Amino acid sequence: MARLFGTDGVRGLANRDVTAELALDLSVAAAHVLADAGAFAGHRPFAVVGRDPRASGEFLSAAVVAGLASAGIDVLDVGVLPTPAVAYLTAARKADLGVMLSASHNAMPDNGIKFFARGGHKLDDVIEDAIEQRRGEPWERPTGAAVGRVRRDDVAAREYVAHLLSVLPHRLDGVHVVVDCAHGAASEVAPRLLRDAGAQVDVIGGEPDGLNINDGYGSTHLGNLQAAVVALGADLGVALDGDADRCLAVDAAGHLVDGDQIMAVLALALRERGQLRADTLVATVMSNLGLLLAMEREGITVEQTAVGDRYVLERMRSGDFSLGGEQSGHVILTEHGTTGDGLLTAMLLASRVAESGRSLADLAGVMERLPQVMINVADVDKARATDHVDVLAAVAAAESELAGRGRVLLRPSGTEPLVRVMVEAPEAEQAQDVADRLAVVVREHLAL
């Protein structure tokens, strides 16, 4: 049976895969696992619960709250807030557990359940597995005063914004920003943060109705933001996703500034302030070769991990590094948070523009993004992708052809019977040609 928890919690079609019953059972199981591990010793436990504005989040969060309270955990219901806000509040309020109901950048019909441990960090795989194994087991229910109490917290959003403002390195006065909130969890707090930081702010995708999250707006749909930035004559635009744990940007001409470029800009800014620990940036194997070349030129080491922000964070914590992230816009700054934070990223990027007096296009020009082609080869034996002789020979030939000026990566999917073929090259035509040829080899030799 497939593992219920993925790299970012439990996610699927709401009310089919992710049901109220599942949400309640997982919450009760989480309470029992953490209690047995001694997490609640000596005190009455409490949890922070938040959600994005999806319609399904209303009943799913109610189920989570009910499950936790029925297991004797007091609950602080913070309502609609970004994922990084829930992680921050879990740490700041010294909660024993945090729970976020969101499917991030997925379409509205999906939803998900993400747990945070004490301190605001994602649960370890071992704890997640224990929760999955214990859901639905018989248990002795607390009664009377031992049941959990539930209260709403209407100041949580202000507390989170105040936290972000407290780490602002330079005010945004004179900077015109368009923010695309994806009709998501940051629709209220993102404009407030940027305005309080001094920016002139225009908002798109900021009217959530429970049904329109990520629908044509946000970090996976940049067209409206690009058009708005150009039409309004803004200095830059920032696009969040549904739960605001990622951020992409566009410059004044409407050109994309992706997560790799954002990390390059922030890495140089942090080093300038003496805050880039060990002069090291942590990125995944999917980051563009242009980032690696630019950081090498600037004397910054790049540590690479498997794809997934949890793997980036694990390496950052083990190496005590301060900056890491993904091309998709998950950027983690461990000095200020325990997970990717799109609002923090947007604020710091705009702050760099204000502080330097340079345009975003100029700042992002520190790296040249090489053309990148990705082909998903389906219905193949992904387990053999890294050891099949003919496939390895084809990869070696492609790397020789690129002669150090490009990159080849074959990555088995973590959830589907497919292999992702990624090629970077100086010219888009060459990248496409090499990727097409490799895809044919993978399809021929690994077919199921």
Dist CA 380 CA 361 (whole Å):
41
Q: What integer pLDDT is reported at residue 349 of this predicted model?
A: 98
CB atoms within 10 A of CB 198: 17
Q: What integer pLDDT is reported at residue 398 of this predicted model?
A: 93
pLDDT at 228 over 80: yes
> Please, which residues have CB within 8 angstroms of residue 91's CB and are 6 or more apart in sequence?
118, 119, 120, 338
Residues comprising the chain, all counted: 448
Query: Is 125 annotated as belonging to a binding site?
Result: no
Helix segments in 234-279, DSSP class H: 259-272
128-147 pLDDT, tens digit each: 999 999 999 999 999 999 99
Segment 54-65 mean pLDDT? 98
Q: Which residues are catalytic?
A: 104
Of 434, 321, 299, 441, the residue nearest 370 (C-alpha)? 434
Segment 289-307 mean pLDDT? 95
CATH architecture of the domain with residue range 10-154: 3-Layer(aba) Sandwich (3.40)
Q: What integer pLDDT is reported at residue 415 of this predicted model?
A: 63
Residue entry with tokens 């990705």: 374
pLDDT at 1 over 60: no
CATH topology of domain 159-364: Alpha-D-Glucose-1,6-Bisphosphate; Chain A, domain 3 (3.40.120)
> Please, which residues have CB within 8 angstroms of residue 388's CB and are 6 or more apart in sequence?
445, 446
Secondary structure of 292-337 in HEC code, one letter for each residue: HHHHHHCCCEEEEECCCHHHHHHHHHHHCCCEEECCCCCEEECCCC
Q: What does pTM read for this prediction? A: 0.92
Of 131, 115, 137, the residue nearest 3 (C-alpha)? 131
Q: What integer pLDDT is reported at residue 308 of this predicted model?
A: 84
Segment 390-405 mean pLDDT? 91
- Residue 197's pLDDT band, with cuts at 50, 70 and 90, is very high
Query: Is 387 annotated as belonging to a binding site?
Result: no
- Beta-sheet pairing, 97-101 with 46-51: parallel
Of 217, 233, 34, the residue nearest 116 (C-alpha)? 34
> Please, which residues have CB within 8 angstroms of residue 429's CB and are 6 or more apart in sequence?
none
Contact indicator for 337, 344 with CB cutoff of 8 Å: yes
Answer positive or negative: Cα dihedral of 217, 185, 61, 86.
Answer: positive
> Please, which residues have CB within 8 angstroms of residue 334's CB and are 6 or more apart in sequence?
313, 316, 317, 321, 322, 323, 324
Query: Is 8 annotated as belonging to a binding site?
Result: no
Residues of the chain with CATH 3.40.120.10: 10-154, 159-364
Query: Is 309 annotated as belonging to a binding site?
Result: no
Summary mean pLDDT of the chain: 95
Residues of the chain with CATH 3.30.310.50: 372-446
CATH topology of domain 372-446: TATA-Binding Protein (3.30.310)
- In order of 33, 230, 253, 382, the CA distances from 250 in angstroms are 44, 10, 8, 36
Burial 295-321 (b: 16+ CB within 10 A, else e): beeeebebbebebbbbbbbbbbeeeeb
Strand order in the sheet with 323-325: 301-305, 280-284, 323-325, 331-333
Q: How does DSSP classify residue 277?
A: G
Contact indicator for 380, 438 with CB cutoff of 8 Å: no
426-443 pLDDT, tens digit each: 999 999 999 999 999 999
- Residue 446's pLDDT band, with cuts at 50, 70 and 90, is very high
